Structure 1
Amino acid sequence: MTDAAANNQTDEGPILNALAQYIKDFSFENPNAPRSLAPQEKSPEISIQVNVGGNQIGDEDYVVDLTLEGKATVDGEVLFAFELVYGGVFRLRNVPAEHIHPTVMIEFPRLLFPFARQIIADAVRNGGFPPLFIDPIDFTALYRQKIAELQTEQANSPIS
């Protein structure tokens, strides 16, 4: 057996474990019920904002918050609004340092998203509306956008 083969047997690849998932904060508003539940002549305009935050909480452990905020309006009147902060605690091992931040900010929210999406769909349905199934989110593009914004801010900030 070659040294390379022996090393492959003892080296572990990257390991990612989900330790916990939870609703950190959640609200659903149906401010104009029951009037808002009447059939609408127009389709509602739906807006959704997504934010991801993450922090290291131990040597190998990270907490990630996926925030989804949205509302549906018709002619400026709110039909419903929601805010969900869905969190997870993850363990990450055997990952090169340069890959940790992208993993925390892309892969972890990608794992949380289907659960958060279902919570929102159920809440909207329980609020008297058809379930809102949020389209899949490209967390890689979101991450790249945030990095570009930070770089622009740093380039535009005055040097003291």
Structure 2
Amino acid sequence: MLVSNPHCAMTRKALRTLEPGKQIVDDVLILLARMLAFDSTRLQWYLPTAFVIYCPMWCDNHWFLVIIDLSRKQLVYLDSLRSPTARSKSRHQIRKLAIFLDDLLDDRAWYANADIDKIECSEFDIKEPEVAQQLPERMCLAIDMVLKYHNDNRMETVEAALNYWRSFTIAPW
């Protein structure tokens, strides 16, 4: 175990999911969220405060997030691993989600007031705000997760790495 934390257990296998093109496991995300919260001197809120629905989407072995913002009538597409081919497929999946929501919201039982217009998610604009891309940051995240103060095993991990490195070097005598 490389990182000991009350919220997750970080092993080499978990950290290897930070390699480019690999699916990141939940322990990595939990530790990152814990690091961000612990480093802060104030409460940080990363998601919009308006009435929204958060919908994680899975497409072609890749996760991305769609935020259905009902007050702004927007479908917000957030992807930290953008690619031109994945973008087209992801947008197609978002449109399918919007049509599904239209069918779901067709039932007037969802509306507290009969005078409220029916919500048509398929008419919402798809917005793609700039978000940090994960490829350049993965190695930095792995190093921070292992070496920062939130890891109770950091000194043992550093010592094990040094011993491993020393086993490959020749003593100059």
**If the length of structure 1 is used for normalisation, what is the TM-score?**
0.32
Larger radius of gyration: 2
**If the length of structure 2 is used for normalisation, what is the TM-score?**
0.30
Normalized per residue, which structure has more strand? 1
